[in-house]
Structure 1
Amino acid sequence: MSAPEYAFYGDDFTGATDTLAQLSRAGLRTLLFLGIPDEWRLRHCGELDAIGIAGAARSMAPEAMRAELNAVGARFASLGVKLVHYKVCSTFDSAPQVGSIGVALQTLRAYCANPLRVIVGGQPDLRRYCVFGQLFAASGADERAPVYRIDRHPTMRAHPVTPMHEADLRAHLREQGVKAVTSVDWRALALEAKALSAHVNDALREAPDALLFDVQDAAHLRAIGGVMRERAALAPLLAVGASSVAQAWAHSAALHDHADTSAIGAAQGPVFVLAGSLSPRTAAQIEAANAYVRVRLDPARMTGDAYLAAQIAAIGAELARGHHVLAYTDRTRVEGAASPADNALARACGALLDGVLKRASVRRVGVAGGDTSSFAVRALDAWALSYRATLAPGVALCRLHADDARLDGIELMLKGGQMGDVDLFARLARGT
């Protein structure tokens, strides 16, 4: 097997599936593994252009992150990949003690000899933008939704675990131990390739920890991708950012010409959706999901074995009757129910999903919420995901790969809290 040129680690599962989708749509043969793949597994997967590992670093403390990412970095280095991508949420929400991007950069840089370390600061197709190092994000999927500086964003400024109180990504990362981040602003990205390369060389003379690239549109991504490809040809390069890193890599080689025309048919049988996200967008999607039997989960009781078993039985019974079921954590009762730091609620959601799929025959599943998705999928006895189609910007429908025939081939949608239109869950059931 020839070495894949691109390797990525997703700090949560939902974001990892978006990167899987971007690379697959660019025509790159890509698999997203649910753990570090061994030689036997890779040999049996055939030729791959890109590989990913879906992780949960976004919800980890620094020491746990270092342990996980050292193993990931060593594996990627052993494969001889050109680009190592640490995939973060496009809103960069993180903190020194939870999901620290700084810890990730400092850990993975040891496995990438290139003196250039790239931070891509926006993803325009999700309406995330970086201008003079300041991060901005839209408040909704609607094109008319206003764009806010991230520290004034109505959702991200009040995130329950990692609220964003700083819009300048250089200052934000400095709090996480990345002391020297040099900005390459949008004006430099308008330069011709040779001049931009010289500009990057000048910026590297001070030996910064990383270069932060502004992003406003696809032209900026093409320019950044050109820089990454030029430098990665010399030595393995580390890039930090959202799926825009994959877009930049593809754009720069004119790979991103493959339009996604895959239609998604109606589900063959009942659909199960588990929503652990507390975002207003997910709340609106739950409210609009009239085709589902809705099951409210009490977060204060989810960690109790008897309550969990009763919910699994009730959900399984509805699915056996052929009903679509949407189980969701009651956002009005979450406060004080479970500590975000120990992920007790997310782990309980994982146990719930595993229990439901053991009890009921379901071939299409949706999970909403970054932490929920990470722990839920890790609770299953599966080993990889491949791309199936796109349901909405940032939301992919994937195929689950497992040695267990009961799980193998399940169509799985993982979505972040802010992703998707209001009718997303309805579309998951009825198709596109």
Structure 2
Amino acid sequence: MPFVGCIADDFTGATDLANNLVREGLRAVQIIGVPSAADMAGLDAADAVIIALKTRTVPVDEAVAQSRAALEALKVAGCQRFFFKYCSTFDSTPEGNIGPVAEALLADLGEAMAIAAPAFPANGRTVLNGELFVDGVPLNESGMQNHPLTPMTDSNLVRWLGTQCRGEVGLIDHQTIDAGVEAIRDRAADLGEVGVTLAIVDGKDEQQLRVVGEAFADARLITGGSGIAMGLPAPWRAAGQIEARADAGGLAEFNGATAVISGSCSVRTREQVAAFADCHPSLGLDPLAIADNPEGAVAEALAWAEPKLSDGPVLIYSTDSPDAVLAAQSRLGSAEAGALIERALAQISLGLVDAGVRRLIVAGGETSGAVVSTLGIQVLRIGPQIDPGVPWTGARLSRGADAPPIDLALALKSGNFGGVDFFTRAFEVCP
């Protein structure tokens, strides 16, 4: 049976976490949405099960309910360790959802405290004295302060998370981590005695995350970004709880057309879109045109793309500058603008698959959730890494009783992840 059960608050975050677990030698399976008993059957070959939810920006009560249901499914499957995954840039509002979900999971597991470890140094996310930095820049100056749904206006995570939690929020700082495993455990015990339910953990490099992972390998619940997951498998193997798998990330070959769908408006994705558009056919979507005629906008995009698929990858994107996003939101409303674009990109993705696309990149967590749901994907097999936090995955799409299933290679990229040339390099390493 699987040893570790994970709950991710968006789809790209789930593949990010799964990628790091696979690279550490665990066989990982990603399940889309709260699973049924049938979905959880036949998972005995997996070491890790990651349930991908779309709860990052939903109302707090809904996020808590879905996360608790996912936890119950993982407990029934026999998991012994649990992981609540959220973004390494935290991506939440002062009202939630990270704190309320984490505290609900703690209560259901009968635990008093967990760490909150968002650092992912391989992707430039470091935490120092409780302050989160992106490539050395404070989070609230990194571009994340302009996020259309979860603007991060404070880099102090102890303070930010404190607004979300019923219990106290503490800090395990880098000096304590450098002092070693026992010092970390002593600090955690001291925090627990004064009512701390979540403790932000510093992380300036991968070695610190591995030390933290060793210190908390016996904890029933870990919360954080995917970086901390790199520090957990080694002590689990040392204790004889899991085995190392040399072929953990193997996938079959995929043949067919290639495409990129991008809905993220992050700084890095805008750079990636610009770089890819310089040498590949690219089509930008107008949110206002989508609002006026959603079906027509989808049909026009597919009519543009289909004749070009035989010549190489195409890019269809709604990625735009913060000013353009604000202009669309001012007319349509923030939530409605995002939902319109997600639905359109998801329908375009479905049309591309029907047209023969078998290797598809999707940029943006919310967009990835919409695409995966529309394609009807339930399970993803985790394959080779493209960039830190982003693997290729394999999915099998059912097309009805009279049609053979479709095997699809799918890369779900968080908005700020990947190098500027990510889209081009991704197809070079695709199985």
In the TM superposition, residue 306 of structure 1 has moved relative to its aligned partner by 3.1
1:281 aligns with 2:268: yes
- Aligned-partner Cα distance in 1 for 2:420–2:252: 19
Aligned ranges 1:21-420 → 2 under 5 Å: 21-97=19-95, 100-138=97-135, 147-153=136-142, 155-230=143-218, 232=219, 237-253=220-236, 268-289=255-276, 290-303=278-291, 304-315=293-304, 317-319=306-308, 321-329=310-318, 331=320, 333-337=324-328, 338-342=332-336, 343-344=338-339, 345-358=341-354, 360-404=355-399, 408-420=406-418
Moved more, 252-261 or 374-383: 252-261
Structure 2 alignment gaps of length 5 or more: none
Structure 1, 360-369 or 52-61: larger mean CA deviation:
52-61
Distance 1:263 1:24, change over 3 A: closer
Q: Report the more deviating stretch, 281-290 or 256-265.
A: 256-265
Q: Please tell me the root mean square deviation across aligned C-alpha atoms, in Å.
A: 2.8
Residue 428 of structure 1 aligns with an amino acid whose one-letter code is A
Q: Percent identity?
A: 28
Question: What count of residue pairs does the alignment treat as equivalent?
Answer: 414
The change in CA–CA distance for 1:315 and 1:55 in structure 2 (over 3 A counts) is farther
Given that residues 370 and 415 in structure 1 are in contact (C-alpha distance below 8 angstroms), is that contact kept between their aligned partners in structure 2? Answer: yes
Query: Match of 1:229, SS?
Result: coil
Residues 210-243 of structure 1 deviation map (CA, whole Å, 9 limit, x = unaligned): 122111122322222122223x3xxxx2222100
Which letter does structure 1 place at the counterpart of 2:306? A
Q: What is the identity, as a one-letter code, of the residue corresponding to 1:346?
A: E
1:144 is matched with none
Q: Using the alignment, how far apart are the partners of 1:277 and 1:174 within structure 2?
A: 28
Contact in 2 for aligned 1:266/1:431 (Cα 8 Å)? no
1:248: Cα distance to partner?
A: 2.1
Give the partner amino acid of 2:177. Answer: L
CA contact 2:94–2:160 (8 Å) conserved in 1: no
Aligned partners of 2:397 and 2:408 also within 8 Å = no
The aligned counterpart of 2:6 is 8
SS at match of 2:288: coil
Deviates more, 1:284-293 or 1:206-215: 284-293
TM-score w.r.t. the length of structure 2 is 0.87
Query: For residues 401 and 105 of structure 1, what CA distance do their matches in structure 2 show?
Result: 32
Measure how far apart 1:322 and its partner are: 4.1
- How far did residue 111 of structure 1 move? 2.0
8 A contact 1:173–1:179 mirrored in 2: no
User: Is 2:7–2:14's contact at 8 Å kept on the other side of the alignment?
Assistant: yes
Q: Is the 8 A contact 1:273 1:326 kept in 2?
A: yes
Q: Is the 8 A contact 1:291 1:426 kept in 2?
A: no
SS at match of 2:119: coil
| Counterpart Cα distance in 1 of 2:57 and 2:389 | 20
Mapped to 1, the partners of 2:145 and 2:319 lie a distance apart of 21
Summarize the Cα distance change of 1:330–1:205 in structure 2 as closer, same or farther, 3 Å threshold: closer
Distance 1:134 1:257, change over 3 A: farther
Cα distance in structure 2, aligned partners of 1:74 and 1:198 = 30
**Shift of residue 31 of structure 1?**
0.1
Matches of 1:377 and 1:326 in 2, distance apart?
Answer: 18
The verdict on how the C-alpha distance between 1:402 and 1:330 changes in structure 2, with shifts beyond 3 A counting, is: closer
| Aligned equivalents of 1:276, 1:298: Cα separation in 2 | 12
Distance 1:49 1:349 in 2: 33
**Structure 1 unaligned residues grouped into runs of 5+:** 139-146
1:18-76: CA deviations, max 9, x gaps? 11111111111210001233333333344221100111111212132123122112222
Is the 8 Å Cα contact of residues 260 and 390 (structure 1) preserved in structure 2?
no
What amino acid is the match of 2:274?
E
Shift of 1:328: 0.7
Query: Which of the two has greater helix per residue?
Result: 2
Alignment partner of 2:377: what SS? coil
- Cα shift at 1:319: 4.7
Deviation for aligned residue 1:94? 0.7
Amino acid at match of 2:350: D
TM-superposed deviation, 1:186? 1.3
Secondary structure (helix, strand or coil) at the match of 1:209 reads strand
| 198 and 419 in structure 1: CA distance in 2 versus 1, 3 angstrom threshold | closer
Distance 1:264 1:64, change over 3 A: closer
Distance across 2 between alignment mates of 1:254 and 1:129: 27
